[in-house]
Chains A and B, each alone.
Chain A
Amino acid sequence: MTRKLTLADYPLAETRSAEVKGTRGKSLDDISLDAVLTGDVAMEDLRITPKALADQAEISRAANRPTLALNFERAAELVNVPQDFIMSSYELLRPGRAKTKQQILNVAQIFRNQHNSPAIAAFFEEAAEIYERRGLYTHRF
Chain B
Amino acid sequence: MGSSYNPNRWRRYADWDERPLRLDKFAKEDPANGFSAFSSPADPKPSVKINAGSIVSMDGVLAHDFDMIDEFIARHHIDPAMTEEAMAMDSGHIARMLVDMNVPREALVRLAHGMTPAKLADVVSRLNALEIAFAYSKMRARKTPGNQAHVTNAKDDPLQLAADAATAVAFGFDEIETTMRVSRNAWSNAVACAVGSAVGRWGVLFQCSSEEAEELRIGMAGFTSYAETVSVYGTEKTFIDGDDTPWSKAFLAAAYASRGIKMRCTSGAGSELLMGFHESKSLLYLEARCLCLQRGMGVQGTQNGGIDGAPLTATIPGGVRELMAENLIAVWLDLECASGNDARSTESEIRVGAKILPYLIGGSDLICSGFGSILAYDNSFNPSLFNGEEMEDYLVLQRDFEADGGLTPLPESKALDLRRKAVDCIAAVFEELDLGQPTADMKQSVVIASGSNETRSYMPREVAGISEAIKDRGITVVDVIKALAKRGFREEAENLLNVVKLRVSGDYLQTSAMVRNGKVVSAINDPNTYQGPGTGYRVSESRRLEINSIRDVLDQDEVLRSEAMHEKEEARRIGYRVIGEAIPSDDKDEIVIGISPAFGLKLFQTTASHRLSDILKNMITAIESRGLKARIVRFNHTADTSFLGLSAARLSGSGIGIGIQAKGTAVIHQRDRLPHNNLELFSNAPITQLEHYKGFGANAAAYALGEMPEPVVVPTRGEAMGSRYHARVALIYAIETALTSEGAAPQNIEVKFKL
Contacts and interface: CB of A to CB of B under 8 A. Distances in A.
Given A46-B222, A68-B300, A56 B258 contact: no
A41 B334 CA distance: 37
Interface of B: 64, 67-68, 71-72, 75-77, 79, 106, 109-110, 212-213, 216-217, 220-222, 236, 239-240, 243-245, 247-248, 250-260, 295-300, 334, 476-478, 481-482, 485, 490, 493-494, 497, 500-507, 509-511, 519-520, 522-525
Contact of A74 (B295, B298, B477, B485): B298
B251 A89 contact: yes
Nearest to B294: A67
A94 interface: yes
A10 B485 contact: no
B288 to A, nearest CB: 16
Contact of A11 (B243, B247, B497, B520): B520
22 contacts: A7-B524, A10-B522, A11-B519, A13-B504, A21-B504, A33-B481, A33-B490, A36-B493, A46-B222, A46-B477, A56-B506, A56-B507, A64-B334, A67-B298, A68-B300, A74-B298, A76-B258, A78-B258, A83-B216, A90-B248, A90-B252, A126-B75
A46 B298 contact: no
Determine the main DSSP class of B at the interface with A.
Answer: helix
Given A46-B500, A71-B257, A71-B298, A63 B506 contact: no
Contacts of A75: 254-258
A130 B66 CA distance: 9
Given A53-B257, A76-B258, A95 B244 contact: yes
B668 to A, nearest CB: 73
Given A78-B258, A81-B258, A56 B298 contact: no
B473 to A, nearest CB: 14
Interface in A73-117: 74-79, 81, 83, 86-87, 89-90, 93-95
Determine the main DSSP class of A at the interface with B.
Answer: helix
B245 A131 contact: yes
A22 to B, nearest CB: 5
A69 B295 CA distance: 11
Contacts of A69: 298
A22 B504 contact: yes
Contact of A71 (B75, B245, B247, B297): B297
A42 B220 CA distance: 13
A53 B75 contact: no
B258 A68 contact: no
B485 A37 contact: yes
A70 B79 CA distance: 14
Contacts of A28: 501, 504-505
A41 B477 CA distance: 12
Interface string A113-131: 0000000100110110011
Given A64-B110, A72-B298, A37 B482 contact: yes
A70 B259 CA distance: 16
Given A72-B257, A81-B258, A134-B67, A46 B247 contact: no
A100 B175 CA distance: 42
Contact of B334 (A14, A52, A65): A65
A94 B506 contact: no
Given A20-B504, A48-B259, 6 more contacts: A11-B525, A14-B520, A43-B478, A95-B243, A123-B250, A123-B251
Contacts of A94: 243-245, 248
A68 B334 CA distance: 10
A92 B72 CA distance: 18
